[in-house]
Amino acid sequence: MTTVNATADSSRVVAYNLTSKRGENQFHGMVYYQHFNAGLNSIPHPQTKRTGYIQHDWQAELAGPIWKNHTFFYLSWYEQLIPLGSFNFATVPTQAMWNGDFSGFSPIIDPQTGAQFPNNQIPADRISPVSAALQQYYPLPNIGDPGAFTSNNLADPSLQFPEFTAGTGRSSASITTSLQELHLWQMAAA
């Protein structure tokens, strides 16, 4: 596994490289089911009630010989279902912050003068027109006091009902001691 600060050949900060091995002359398999339920989750701050959540994970794997000492197979299947949908929390600026009012925060320094803005408020004529235009794309807090800045002050009302399925298949054959053949199939669907 390649983790944080991955090398330049990785497409993301965290990635994984999977290596499968050839089969054996014995059958091996695995099946499991996992269930997650909001009944065991803590209530996120500043919420006062638990949001319903259920997640089902299934996985099965099977490997073994097709032709003893020559041809082997491996199959894997994974599925995830979240029937109640996923619910996301985010931290967004308050209306006062969009208006330039940062009273109650650490000092906001004017980049032109190097001095603190009076009362920690950025004048309206100093707010970038680009920033003001982007404001329409950001929702305002909908959890807790809308005037107080807290973390997780937005509950995303756009629920998604994710379902994810992935499969892998592999066959390998030893044609001679120095000639090997490999067939690999992978799929993922969301």
pLDDT above 70: residue 97: yes
Per residue in 103-112, pLDDT (tens digit) is 889 999 999 9
Per residue in 138-163, pLDDT (tens digit) is 888 888 888 888 888 888 766 566 78
Give backbone dihedrals phi and psi of 32, rounded to 5 degrees, phi first.
-150, 160
Q: Cα–Cα distance between 94 and 147 in angstroms, integer?
A: 6
Percent of the chain at pLDDT above 70?
83
For the whole model, what pTM was predicted? 0.56
Name the maximum alpha-carbon separation found in the chain: 81
* SS3 category, 184: strand
| Per-residue pLDDT at 107 | 93
